[in-house]
Chain A
Amino acid sequence: MACIEARGLRKSFGATIALDGIDLHVEEGRILGLIGPNGAGKSTALNAILGLTPYQGELRVLGRDPWVERDQLTRDVAFIADVAVLPRWIRVSQLLDYAAGVHPRFDRAKALSFLAKTSIKRTSKVRELSKGMVTQLHLALVMALDAKLLVLDEPTLGLDILVRKQFYDALLNDYFDRNRTIVVTTHQVEEIQDVLTDVMFINHGRIVFDCSMEDFETRFVEVMVTPEHVAAARALRPIHERQVFGRSILLYDRVDRQQLAALGDVRTPGIADLFVAVMGNSANQAQGAAS
């Protein structure tokens, strides 16, 4: 059974359409990156999955309707958003007591052993912790909740690179396994490229690109073309072209690697590069359609 199953998910705020008929199918054991520009509808999609916002269309998370069964669903779903949501007045020990009180499967020992690796004191209030420590604290809770689905909305925003690295390391080593699913949105795409199993681009409330990372690595090739081969390279229908230090870098989808290797240096592109290509193309198409 799919962890998240959506069909024709729609949501509008007045005249603004935030989600314009999204289809989603996320199997358990996947780590899905939801990438998109600001205002693309990422957070709205996550809010719908978490039962924080009503929607039109069909949506099932762990077999439940999130809007109707939020309080049941949140036993198995954990959520970390742009860190600032932990109440600032609460003490670490109170937070653990509360979570143990309302969650049926809270494992306090697990949370404590995770916290022991940090400099967070149990008597501290959240407002006394640094931003990085708040994220660690939230992560400690999530570890102990034994949640089946973890939703991360810009979890590492405003954190330094060391903490960001620790965050994803802890997520992979201490939390993730075949029975769990993670959905993450972030602007720091490069950092999670190796973490993801699937990637999805969302723009103007629609999914414009959807691919597993295995496919990603076989499908897409980036070539730094030597100047004399530029014309030949362009003939192979790249999906995007950019200039770096006077050299042309061309991006291809499903073009034979051997053939491309003759034209210059070949490498697997970053998600960010593909994102720019896909978004640029869809903007051009929109312009083309308008004119």
Chain B
Amino acid sequence: MNTQSGLSTPYPAGPQPAAPVPMPVTRPMYWSVRRELWENRSIYIAPLVVAAVVLFATSLAMIGLPRRMRAFPTLDPAKGHASIVMHFSMAPAPIMLAAFIVGFFYCLDALYGERRDRSILFWKSQPVSDGTTVLSKAGIPLVVLPLIAYALSVAAQIFLLMLGTMALLGSGQNPATWWGEVRFFQGLLIMFYGLAVHTLWFAPIYGWLLLISAWARRSPILWAVLPPLAVAAVERIVFSTSSFMHMLGYRVTGAMVEAFALKPKDGGNIDRLSQLDPARFLSAPGLWVGLVFAAVFLAAAVRLRRNREPI
């Protein structure tokens, strides 16, 4: 985008009160994202509330930590490890889930709500292109929400780490054994990886939701959800196969399958770097096909926003 292109045909407006200030291209984007956070405070409030609830519950569970630590040497290593780190390492999961759910509903309303309340006429009278607008809205589930979820998850774990340490010190135990099992710093990397792969994997879902949000005249949630299910049902009835349903299921759970190398004995716990498999994830066709779809959906959403009128 060249902000100076208009100067080739200058508009002689008599004495100019102020020289045209060249504006960095990033400014409309920055203010568009801020405007989304003003309007949709659930973007940070919902994960915050979930984090508070999770912290409350896990804090209670931390009371039992000294007792479990004492039992730890007597247990089988894998089982013992799970019993003392589970509350700590599982705490971020609900926070991240909340962020993904907020992203889902945010996308459905992002380009629909502004048409319904006619404020699109105001936003379109501002010098912000449709491309910038749609990208700023896509940036919420793709960048902002994962960052919020990550920050809250790290904060929650730091809090739990301090709480567990105090509980152990209070019962006269050395917390170093627990710290060794918790592996806090590895956890930071694993959480980041987990959020990144899921966000990339879900990108076409967000793109689809934004597209429907830009297109639907009413009930975008039904338009977003029912047609894919209808396709699956038709396939099932006509061909007695369910490959479309499998594809949908793969889109929801595929990141877990492709990005991690889990063994049955891990018991669903992910707390070692050796469980991450970025090479397989990056070579999974599902990732790249998904990203292409996401780009196509977003491009279509930009076109639709340009053409659509208030409803």
* Residues of chain A having any CB pair with chain B under 8 Å: 1, 28, 50-54, 62-64, 69-79, 81, 84-91, 94, 97-99, 101-105, 146, 148, 178-179
Complex: A89 Cα to B20 Cα, angstroms: 31
- B14 lies within 8 A of A178 (CB): yes
Please name the 8 residue pairs, one residue from A and one from B, whose CB atoms are nearest each other, closest first: A101-B31, A71-B129, A79-B125, A87-B119, A85-B121, A104-B21, A85-B122, A75-B127
Chain A residue at minimal CB-CB distance from B40:
A89
Q: B18 in the interface, Cβ–Cβ < 8 Å?
A: yes
Q: Which residues of A contact B227 (CB under 8 A)?
A: none
| Closest A residue, CB atoms, query B129 | A71
Within 8 A of A (CB), among B1-57: 5-6, 9, 11-15, 17-18, 20-23, 27-28, 30-31, 34-35, 38-39
Give the chain B neighbours of A98 by CB distance below 8 A.
31, 34-35, 126
Find B117's partner among A50, A88, A104 (CB 8 Å cutoff). Answer: A88
Query: How long is the Cα–Cα vector from A63 to B118 in the complex, in angstroms?
Result: 28
Report which B residues bind A (CB closer than 8 A). Answer: 5-6, 9, 11-15, 17-18, 20-23, 27-28, 30-31, 34-35, 38-39, 114, 117-119, 121-130, 132, 307, 309
B13 touches A179 (CB 8 A): yes
B31 with A79: CB separation less than 8 A: no
> In the complex, which residue of chain B has the Cβ closest to the Cβ of A76?
B11
Please report the C-alpha to C-alpha distance between residue A103 and residue B18 in the assembled complex, in whole angstroms. Answer: 13
Which residues of chain B are within 8 angstroms of A51 by Cβ–Cβ distance?
Answer: 124
Q: Which residues of A contact B117 (CB under 8 A)?
A: 87-88
How far apart sit A88 and B119, CA to CA, in the bound complex (Å)?
Answer: 8
- The answer to whether B122 and A72 touch across the interface, beta carbons within 8 angstroms, is no
Given contacts A76-B11, A102-B126, A105-B21, contact A69 B6 (CB under 8 A): yes
Query: Does the CB pair A52–B122 fall under 8 Å?
Result: no
- Cα(A104)–Cα(B126), bound, Å: 11
A54 to B124, CA, bound (A): 14
Q: Which of A1, A69, A85, A104 contacts B11 (CB 8 A)?
A: A1
User: In the assembled complex, how far is the CB of residue B124 from the closest CB belonging to chain A, in whole angstroms?
Assistant: 6
Please, which residues of chain A bring their CB within 8 A of the CB of B127?
71-75, 102-104
A105 partner, pick from B18, B27, B34, B123, beta carbons under 8 A: B18
Question: A79 vs B20: C-alpha distance in the bound complex, in angstroms?
Answer: 20
CA of A157 to CA of B31 in the docked complex: distance in angstroms? 31
The distance in angstroms between the C-alpha atoms of A94 and B117, with both chains bound, is 18
Would you call A50 and B125 a contact (CB within 8 A)?
Answer: yes
Number of A-B contacts (CB under 8 A): 102
Q: List 19 A-B contacts (CB under 8 A).
A: A1-B12, A51-B124, A62-B11, A63-B11, A64-B9, A69-B6, A72-B127, A74-B124, A86-B119, A88-B117, A89-B39, A94-B38, A98-B126, A101-B27, A101-B28, A102-B128, A104-B127, A105-B21, A148-B13
Residue among B34, B38, B39, B114 having the largest count of chain A Cβ atoms under 10 Å: B38
Report the minimum CB–CB distance from A14 to chain B (whole Å): 14
* Distance in Å: Cβ of B129 to nearest Cβ of chain A: 4
Given contacts A69-B6, A87-B122, A178-B14, contact A102 B31 (CB under 8 A): yes
For residue A73, which residues in chain B have a CB less than 8 angstroms away from its CB? Answer: 127
When C-beta atoms are compared, the residue in chain A nearest to B125 turns out to be: A79
Q: A94-B38, A105-B18 provided; 18 other pairs, C-beta below 8 A? A: A63-B9, A64-B6, A71-B128, A71-B129, A71-B132, A72-B5, A85-B118, A85-B122, A87-B114, A87-B122, A87-B123, A98-B126, A104-B23, A104-B127, A105-B20, A105-B21, A148-B13, A179-B14
Chain A residues, Cβ within 8 Å of B124: 50-52, 70, 74
Contact check: which of A53, A84, A99 meets B309 at CB < 8 Å?
Answer: A53
> Which B-chain residue is minimally distant from A80 (CB atoms)?
B125
Residue of A nearest to B118 (CB): A85
The complex places the Cα of A91 from the Cα of B38 at a distance, in Å, of 9
Contacts of A90 in B (CB 8 A): 35, 38-39
Report the bound CA distance from A186 to B137 in whole Å.
Answer: 35
Chain B residues, Cβ within 8 Å of A91: 38
Chain B: which residue is nearest A103 at the CB level?
B127
Once the chains are docked, how many angstroms separate the CA of A76 from the CA of B34? 23
Compute how far the CA of A175 lies from the CA of B111 in the bound complex, rounded to whole angstroms.
33
A47 to B292, alpha carbons, bound, how many Å?
A: 34
Residues on A with C-beta less than 8 A from B21 are: 104-105
Q: In the bound complex, do residue B118 and residue A54 qualify as a contact, i.e. CB atoms below 8 Å apart?
A: no
A53 CA to B306 CA, complexed, in Å? 8
List, in ascending order, chain A residues with CB within 8 A of B130's CB. 70-71
Asked if A85 contacts B119 (CB within 8 A), the reply is yes
Is the Cβ of B307 less than 8 Å from the Cβ of A54? Answer: yes
Q: Which residue of A lies closest to B15 (CB)?
A: A179
Contact assessment for B309 and A52 in the assembled complex, using a CB-CB cutoff below 8 Å = yes
Contact B129 A70 (CB under 8 A): yes
On whether A77 and B31 interact (CB within 8 A), knowing A85-B119, A104-B20, the answer reads no
Expressed in whole angstroms, the minimum distance between the Cβ of B73 and any Cβ of chain A is: 57
A50 vs B124: C-alpha distance when bound (angstroms):
9
Which residues of B sit under 8 angstroms from A81, Cβ to Cβ?
Answer: 121
| CA of A105 to CA of B13, assembled, Å | 15
A-chain residues with CB within 8 Å of residue B123 when the two chains form the complex: 87
8 Å CB contact of A78 from B20, B125, B307: B125
